[in-house]
Amino acid sequence: MSVTNTKCLIIGSGPAGYTAAIYAARANLSPILLEGPTPGGQLTTTTEVENFPGYPEGVDGPKLMNDLRAQALRFEADIRMARATEVDLSNRPFKVTVDNSETIMADSIIISTGATARYLGLDDEQKYMGMGVSACATCDGFFYRKRTVAVVGGGDTACEEALYLAGLAEKVYLIVRKDYLRASKVMQDRVRKNSKIQILFNCNTEGLFGEEVVEGAHLVENAGTPQEDHFDIKIDGFFLAIGHKPNTDLFAGQIDLDEAGYIKVQSPSTATSVPGVFAAGDVADPHYRQAVVAAGSGCRAALDAERFLLENA
Ligand code: NDP
């Protein structure tokens, strides 16, 4: 197995990883960035991003990520389409195995592995995965043109997905477990004004049905109350938009995580419980989860790593 040494290894792409790479490269740390299984991260599966500063007309998620990547490459960051498969944080330099075939010895590490969409945990989600079940409207919405779909969730993601799908589908159900949407006011207004979207408040999904592909969902309204009601809706697609799980399995047991699995950082720095290891972006952020916040924390992580390397040369 070949061995490469680096002052700074960035694990994970997305706004945090690419921004860390820009700063680390400009600080002459010659960073290596492993892009991981979803190069560019979650924003590559989204539509238009309207709230990233500097784009007054909005920007496509993939374009935004390509721009950040190109900026990191301009300063000669070593960006690799590869994945960390094992890490050993017990000694410095830290040992990271890449695609089970290469070893990188890193004086500092920035973890920016992001978060992944959550599922309800129904057996039927697995049964119909790719056969009507999806957690990415932008990726799969095209298949549901002029058809009927459901989106689960009441946050900004769910509203965004419902609006996107309403542009393609005949009808969109938004299945919300509470009696209100938690999404921002502007997104709520857009959803409410869209005649193709029907919001089903106080509803939970009990299962899905269909011969080979999804043909409908079993729902329960007002579960556990005297008004409890079970009914079915006919749908062709079932989209999950109920939040995310931080991608920290690789580091479990080696670094302090909170009860939800997010990496604990010594705020306001990005230092983790392991000196020399820093965390940036959604993997350490259960609160804001915004691209611009992730980019900002990527900058902080690179500055923290630079200082750490100076003090521990
Ligand atoms: P959120 O955590 O904000 O919302 C998750 C939603 O899913 C909530 O309505 C929640 O219900 C519901 N939910 C969770 N678990 C279940 C379950 N088991 N069954 C049914 N419903 C469930 O996640 P989002 O992904 O929507 O947003 C994350 C962050 O990203 C937020 O800060 C959001 O503002 C931001 N964001 C911003 C966007 C933008 O500005 N363009 C676009 C997308 C996201 P409940 O309310 O009952 O807990």
The pLDDT, as a whole number, for residue 285 is 95
The pLDDT, as a whole number, for residue 99 is 96
Residue nearest to atom 18 of ligand 1 (CA): 120
The pLDDT, as a whole number, for residue 138 is 78
Q: Which atom of ligand 1 is nearest to the CA of 184?
A: 34
The pLDDT, as a whole number, for residue 107 is 98
Return all residues near 76 (Cβ < 8 A) that are at least 6 apart.
Answer: 25, 30
- Among 8, 107, 124, 140, the active-site one is 140
Q: How far is CA 124 from CA 59, 212, 213, 249, 285, in A?
A: 35, 12, 11, 25, 30
Which DSSP helix (H) or strand (E) runs through 231? strand 229-234
Ligand 1 center from residue 153 Cα (angstroms): 6
- Residues in the chain, how many? 313
Active-site annotation holds for 140: yes
Ligand 1 center from residue 52 Cα (angstroms): 19
* 108, 276 Cβ separation under 8 angstroms: yes
* 106, 93 Cβ separation under 8 angstroms: yes
The pLDDT, as a whole number, for residue 38 is 87
| Alpha carbon distance 24, 26 (integer Å) | 5
213 token code pair: 């592909």
Give the predicted TM-score (pTM) of the model: 0.77
| Alpha carbon distance 76, 71 (integer Å) | 9
Ordered mean pLDDT values, 10 residues apiece, the chain (313 residues): 96 97 98 94 77 92 95 98 97 97 97 94 93 86 94 95 97 98 97 98 98 97 98 98 94 96 96 98 90 97 98 91
Residue nearest to atom 21 of ligand 1 (CA): 153
Return all residues near 254 (Cβ < 8 A) that are at least 6 apart.
Answer: 87, 88, 89, 90, 274
Q: Which atom of ligand 1 is nearest to the CA of 156?
A: 26
The pLDDT, as a whole number, for residue 43 is 82
Active-site annotation holds for 203: no
Q: Is 130 helix (H, G, I), strand (E, B) or coil?
A: coil
In one-letter notation, the amino acid at residue 234 is K
The pLDDT, as a whole number, for residue 46 is 66
Residue from 243, 239, 241, 272 nearest 255 by CA: 272
The pLDDT, as a whole number, for residue 272 is 98
Residues with CB under 6 A from ligand 1: 51, 120, 152-158, 160, 177-178, 182, 242-243, 289
Q: Hey, how many other C-beta atoms are within 10 angstroms of the C-beta on 243?
A: 15
44 token code pair: 């590559």
Ligand 1 center from residue 252 Cα (angstroms): 25
The pLDDT, as a whole number, for residue 286 is 83
130 CB-side CA count, 13 A:
0
| Alpha carbon distance 156, 244 (integer Å) | 13
